[in-house]
Amino acid sequence: MKWALCPVGSLLLAIAPMMAQGADLPVSYLVNPNALRASAPAGTPLTFALYIDDACTTQVASQVVNVENVNVIEWLIRVTPTGATPAPRTARLTATLNGVTAGGNLYLTVTGPGIQPVGGICQVQPAQAAGHFPITRATVSRSKQNPYYGLEVHDTAGPFVGPFGKDCLKPVDRQAVLVAASLDPSVLHTCDFETPLSNDANLCGARTPPCAFYRDGSGGGCILIFDIANCTVPPPTCTDGFKNQDEPDVDCGGTTCAPCDDLRNCNVNSDCGSGHCAMATSACRGGSICIPAHCYNGVRDSGESDVDCGEHCPLGCGAGQRCYGDDCDCALGLRCACAPGEASCYKGSVCR
């Protein structure tokens, strides 16, 4: 196959833009030309991926370009100083990534057949996309208070964690609002956010002013979000605040999570820390829930209306058992009846 020194072409439209308001960013990458010539014939796709960290772990843009459509493939003549190890054969690939909004120092990887990087896999870029705020990646869910576009933060560290409440992310750009509204409210999402907050500064945790751009009606500070992209759904966990996996209640029970506390939903005894899962029989409770251990010990403990029933037990008291004026003390279908002549239904009242 013949190689021209500087083939120039247009980029393919296999683009994954970071944001709606992106900029075109020129990038370059050093590779071994012999490996490229041997293994990358015309039609070979190369993936240009842009990152905001020097380890190339936080991706902010990605674009696929066929090798013949790379803007420039330029062979370099590198001078070796006397006494130094000869420099490896080197070619420079240049391309233009579309829709890039990340600011600050940017780093590039190129992957595909025939790509052998020269000078490191993660290569710093001299150019930067201007005119946009930094990108911060965070895990969020659709807000229960404001399901149309408010977002709750689920991270325990980072710039979005602080004293401003879980519902502190406020999309203010049309694209950001549309993306936020499209998120599935039943799962978590990890997304890239364009915001005035720095990606590596824990501003909210430090309680510094940039977190509180304005005050909403509740008095809580808000973080303004101008774009949202690259949303993915992380694997479910026992701390994500959602009832998933085989959990009978949120983040507890099942075969994966720790047993549930008293009065939480359950399916089997092993779902409960108390070891007791049963159908609630109180007139005010329903479903199978974790029964406190003291409601199974055959003793009238503190807070129980009668032995193992009423008050703090989800097991309702049967006919003839004591109650204290509250129908919730009694089993379903029964009411707490006052003793004859008793107006307060406090002493001597029973379930009937």
Tens of pLDDT, residues 62-105: 999 999 999 989 999 888 888 888 888 999 999 999 888 776 67
Q: 315 near 286, Cβ under 8 Å?
A: no
For residue 317, the one-letter residue type is C
Q: Give per-residue pLDDT as tens, 182-236.
A: 888 888 999 998 887 654 444 444 344 334 433 333 334 567 788 898 899 999 9
- Quote the pLDDT of residue 201: 40
302 Cβ neighbours under 8 A, 6+ residues apart: none
- Quote the pLDDT of residue 217: 35
Higher pLDDT, 64 or 178: 64
Higher pLDDT, 252 or 86: 252
CA distance 107 to 126: 9
Residue 13, classed as helix, strand or coil, is coil
Average pLDDT in the 267-293 region?
A: 94
Average pLDDT in the 3-25 region?
A: 39
End-to-end Cα, the chain, rounded Å: 94
HSE (CB half, 13 Å, CA atoms) of 145?
Answer: 12
β-bridge partners, 171: 225
- Quote the pLDDT of residue 9: 29
